[in-house]
Amino acid sequence: MMDMTDLFATRAGRMKASEIRELLKLLDQPDIISFAGGIPDPALFPHEAFRTAYAEILGGSSANAALQYQVSEGYLPLRRWIAGEMGRIGIPCDEGNVFITSGSQQGLDYLGKLFLSPGDTALVTWPTYLGALQAFSAYEPRYDRLSPAGGNMTPDAYREAAAKAGGAAKFAYLVPDFANPSGETLTLAQREAVLDLAEELGIAVIEDAAYAALRYSGEPVPPIAALDALRSGGVDAGRTVYCGSFSKILAPGLRMGWIVAPRRLIEKLVLTKQAADLHSPSINQMVVHHVAERCYAQQIERTREAYSARRDALLAALERHMPEGVSWSRPEGGMFVWMTLPESVDAVALLARSVAEARVAFVPGNAFHADGSGANTLRLSFTLADERAVTQGIPRLADLIRRAIAA
């Protein structure tokens, strides 16, 4: 039998399974208390709004268009609606700056394909979103550490390191609001510092705004794309690529996301999509537009109310049960709490014991570090953390960590 792996391109060796996707299989085990998958609570999905949308679209004059091919840029009414929403958060644009993707993950893959040649450098935070590392790594880059809070290398040092690797720095990627996995939100000064560095290096900024609508406390900070538009005189003159998603507010199963960027980049994204899947599903785009027009703001408030209470309950339980030597983030929004253990505790080994002994799951933090560091860190998601999960799961996990520290 032929072994086709001998024929794979070199990039195939950089493709790795998502630890989070693998951990989601644990959700099928009813006795597992999971803080692992960063997924929305399906009880919050606007089921009735989606039922109505599908019925109206397929039962009316739009049925043929919903089942037909679509332009690669995306369904025009949805793009216009997104442009309006972007204007409300300080990113003035029109439909020509908006590109529809099959989930924001597809957008990250397309951006990696467009920007990265083998040996080029992507600047990412330590830790950063695992899905971004998966998307970018297929295009064989190297990674340098982006530290918006300070401690960055100088621009010359970034250039020298990139040149030594045989390529050039191409973009800085970050999740500035309630980051996955750290829960961190960048200050205004930190966002400005990222733009300063990008201007000095002549690189793009990819702003992943998947969680931006999920703020529960604190004051909103302008998107990096808004700050960039003010500096440069508009989106078309800027360097920031804004990636949005409907997955966290409406429903992830429809796989609807978007990119807002200068038109010259949108043109290339259109060509990329034509070569990949032609366009995102027409009916899904039309349904999302129908639902978003009617209940997006209400859905945001409903989601915020539920997740805010769960965040508070999780933080209170951590404060009550975790032993000394353990610290964690206190996010103002999003879906995640980031925990740091004493350096002697390895989170991967702890997970194996936690699942076997405590029946509690989480995500080890090393998966979110481009260099595989962060062995003593882990991520907890609170979006599915009901009262049972918190009151039973956190004491079990705390007891296991206490024993691991003492060992």
Q: What angle do CA 95, 62, 51 make, to 5 degrees?
A: 95
CA nearest neighbour of 238 among 272, 188, 194, 186: 194
H/E element, 346? none
Q: What is the pLDDT of residue 165?
A: 81
> What is the CB-side half-sphere exposure of residue 216 using CA atoms within 13 A?
22
Helical H segments across 25-118, by residue range: 47-58, 63-66, 76-88, 104-115
Give me the tens of pLDDT residue by residue for the chain, a chain 407 residues long: 767 776 677 777 766 665 555 666 665 677 899 999 889 999 999 999 999 999 999 999 999 999 999 999 999 999 999 999 999 999 999 999 999 999 999 999 999 999 999 999 999 999 999 999 999 999 999 999 998 877 666 788 888 888 888 899 999 999 999 999 999 999 999 999 999 999 999 999 999 999 999 999 999 999 999 999 999 999 999 999 999 999 999 999 999 999 999 999 999 999 999 999 999 999 999 999 999 999 999 999 999 999 999 999 999 999 999 999 999 999 999 999 999 999 999 999 999 999 999 999 999 999 999 999 999 999 999 999 999 899 999 999 999 999 999 98
* Cis before 127? omega within 30: yes
CB 134 within 8 A of CB 18: yes
3-state secondary structure of 296: helix
How many CA atoms, within 13 angstroms, populate the side-chain half-sphere of residue 298? Answer: 8
Cα separation, 402 vs 397, in Å, equals 9
**Rounded Cα gap, residues 141 and 119, in angstroms:** 5
CB distance 370 to 43 below 8 Å: no
Between CA 391 and CA 401, with CA 397 as vertex, the angle to 5 degrees is: 145
Q: How far apart are CA 9 and CA 118, in angstroms?
A: 12
Neighbours of 188 (CB within 10 A): 11
Quote the pLDDT of residue 28.
65
Could you tell me how far CA 289 lies from the centroid of its own chain? Answer: 22
Distance, in Å, from the CA atom of 160 to the CA atom of 165, rounded to the nearest integer, reads: 9
Looking at residue 371, its pLDDT comes to: 92
Please give the Cα distance from 137 to 11 (Å, whole number): 8
The two structure tokens encoding residue 143:
């990674």
Dist CA 160 CA 137 (whole Å): 21
**pTM for the model:** 0.93
DSSP 113-166: HHHPPTT-EEEE-SS--HHHHHHHHTT--EEEE--TTS-PPPHHHHHHHHHHTT
Burial 52-68 (b: 16+ CB within 10 A, else e): ebbeebeeeeeeeebee
Neighbours of 69 (CB within 10 A): 9
181 preceded by a cis bond (ω within 30 of 0): yes
Q: Are strands 204-208 and 240-245 parallel, antiparallel or unpaired?
A: parallel
pLDDT at residue 38 in the model:
87
Query: Which residue from 256, 251, 246 is spatially nearest to 102, judged by alpha carbons?
Result: 256
